[in-house]
Amino acid sequence: MAIIMDKPTFSKEQIISSTDVAKKFGEARRKAKSNPIFITEKGNVDTVLLNYDYFEQMYSRLVELEKKAEEQILLDRIERLEKNPEKAISWRKLRKE
């Protein structure tokens, strides 16, 4: 069973203020190559700086999960229609409405 988190966790070393990022952007970029950097504004995390490879992995995974969710929705609809074919509406009828 997978563990689902509401929000990501991060260490103190991954947090930097927006003022410090403005002054030390090169350092923040170097740190972001190994771990995401969480940039704060007035004490609240506002922005995340990521290595591009990590971003690409996250994006690919998101696309994959969205496709799986869509497939599951379609499979559920097909199953409901197979159990109750009288509830089916023809595509032509839908297009007219």
Domains of the chain: 12-96 (3.40.1620.10)
Average pLDDT over residues 41-68: 95
State the Cα torsion 43-46-51-57 to the nearest 10°: 130
Residue 45 has pLDDT above 90, yes or no: yes
**Residue 55 · residue 43 · CB < 8 Å:** no
Average pLDDT over every residue of 25-47? 94
pLDDT, position 11: 85
